[in-house]
Amino acid sequence: MPPAPSLRLTRLRLRDFRSWAALTARFGAGIVVVTGENGAGKTNLLEAISLLGPGRGLRGARAAELARQGDGEGPLPWAAAGRFEGPWGGFDIGTGTPEGGPLARRAFRLDGLPLRGQADLAERVAAVWLTPQMDRLFQDAASDRRRFLDRLVWALEPHHAREVAAYDHAMAQRNRLLAGERREGARADPAWLAALEEAMARHGVAAAAARRGLVARLNAALARGITGAFPAARLELACAVSAALGAAPALAVEEGLRAEWAASRGRDAAAGATLAGPHRADLGFVHLPRELPAALCSTGEQKALLVAVVLAHAALIAEARGFAPLLLLDEVAAHLDAPRREALFAALAALPAQSFLTGTDAALFAPLRGVAEGFRAGGGQLVPDADLPVP
C-alpha cells in the first residue's frame, strides 16, 4: 500500500491565546521541535494546533478558558489560524471568539467562510496527541481511560461523540427521575422512564460497538508490528455490552439492556446512579513481551506503551481517512531511555505524518539534527533554534 498523503501545517497564527499575545510561526519540516523552560507556552502551542480540528483540543478546555488575560482588562477575545497543505491543496482554518460574540462561544472558518459545525473540519484535519497528563492513565479512574478510548474512536468515527453525548443525556434524565421518585415518594412515569431507557439502549449499543471495533483494529495494527522498536501491546476492553455484541445482534443487546434497566430501577434509585451500562466500560493495556498489565509496568514501559498505541492509531487514521494526521507529542522524551528515544525519532522520520514535539531539554533532541526543524519558546516569542536548523 503506498504511503498516505501527509497533512502539513505550514503557518500558525495566534492572537491572545493562553500565554501568547501574538504569534506568527512558519513550519517547513516534517518534524518540528519546540523547546523551552516550563511555562514558556510550549503546550499552549500544541493545544492551539489541536483546536484547528474538531473537538475541544488536547486539554478539553472550554472556549472561555482559552483567552489570554489582558493587563487589567480581564480575558480577551482570542483567535488561532492555520495554513495547511493536504491532499486537496492549500487551505486555511481559523477558530476563536466570534466577532462581537461571548468568550464562551467558539466560531470556525474554512478559507475565510463561516462553518456551521465541525463536520467539515473532520474531513480536512485530524490530529492525535500524547501529553504528560496521559502518563497517569494507568493509575487514574476507569472514566479517564474510557474518555481516552472515546477520543481515539472519534478521530475515526466523528459521529461517535454524538452517540456518547446522547447516551449520557438520556441517562442523566433517568437518574433525575429516579432520584425524584426516591425523594418525593411519588412514582415516576413508567412510560417516560421506558422512553429514556430505549434511547440509552440505542445510543449506548452504538457507542459500545464503535469502541469494540476500534480496539480490534488497534490490536490488529499492533500485532503487525507497525510500531517498530516499541513494545507490542494488547488492549482489553472490559465492557459487558461490548462483550454481548460478540455473541448477539445489536437489537438483541438493546432489548437486554432495556429489560435490565427496567428491572433495576429500584436499585438505581437507591444508589443515585445507573449501575450498569456502557458508561461503566474500562480499557486495559497489556505489555505483551512480559504479559504484564500496564499498571504494573515501570514508568518508562508505560510511556513506551502509550507511544506504541498513539503510533498505531495514527496509522489507522491514515488508512481510513486517506491522509496521515498531525502528531502532537508534548514532553514525549520524558521517561524514555536513549534507545527508545532514538526508536521514536526513527519512527517519526519514517511516517508521512507531520510531528510536533516539545521538551525542556534541547539536548534530548540532538539525534534529530538535520531531520527536524527546531524552535525555542520563551518571553512570548518563538525563535529558530540554531542547534536544529531547517533541514
Q: Are 353 and 6 in contact (CB under 8 A)?
A: yes
Within this chain, do residues 47 and 76 fall inside the same structural domain, yes or no? Answer: yes
Within this chain, do residues 2 and 122 fall inside the same structural domain, yes or no? Answer: yes
Let me know if residue 310 belongs to a domain: no
Question: In this structure, what C-alpha cell is assigned to residue 161?
Answer: 461523540
Q: What CA–CA distances, in Å, run from 285 to 151, 306, 308, 313, 331?
A: 16, 9, 11, 14, 21
The pTM of this model reads: 0.87
- Contacts of 91-94 spanning 24+ positions with Cβ under 8 A: 91/124, 93/52, 93/121, 93/124, 93/125
CATH of the domain at 207: 1.20.1050.90
Let me know if residue 312 belongs to a domain: no
Report which of 23, 138, 3, 6 is spatially closest to residue 375, judged by C-alpha positions: 23
Within this chain, do residues 126 and 144 fall inside the same structural domain, yes or no? Answer: no
Let me know if residue 315 belongs to a domain: no
Within this chain, do residues 5 and 127 fall inside the same structural domain, yes or no? Answer: yes
Let me know if residue 305 belongs to a domain: no
C-alpha R_g of the chain:
23
What is the separation, in whole angstroms, between the first and last Cα of the chain? 28
Within this chain, do residues 76 and 159 fall inside the same structural domain, yes or no? Answer: no
- Provide the CB-side half-sphere exposure for 78 (13 A, CA): 27
- Burial label for 211, CB within 10 Å (0-12, 13-18, 19+), is buried
CATH of the domain at 378: 3.40.50.300
Strands 89-96 and 107-110: antiparallel
pLDDT in tens, the chain (391 residues): 445 567 899 999 999 999 999 999 999 999 999 999 999 999 999 999 999 988 889 998 999 999 998 777 788 999 999 999 988 899 999 999 998 889 999 999 999 999 877 777 878 888 999 999 898 899 899 999 999 999 899 888 888 989 999 999 999 999 999 998 777 667 778 999 999 999 999 999 999 999 999 999 999 999 887 666 787 889 999 999 999 999 999 999 999 999 999 999 999 999 999 999 999 999 999 998 889 999 999 888 898 899 999 989 998 988 888 888 999 999 998 878 888 898 899 888 888 889 999 999 999 999 999 999 999 999 999 999 988 877 7
Residue with cell 506503551: 305
User: 80 is in which domain, residue-wise?
Assistant: 1-136+321-391
In angstroms, the CA 151 to CA 147 distance is 6
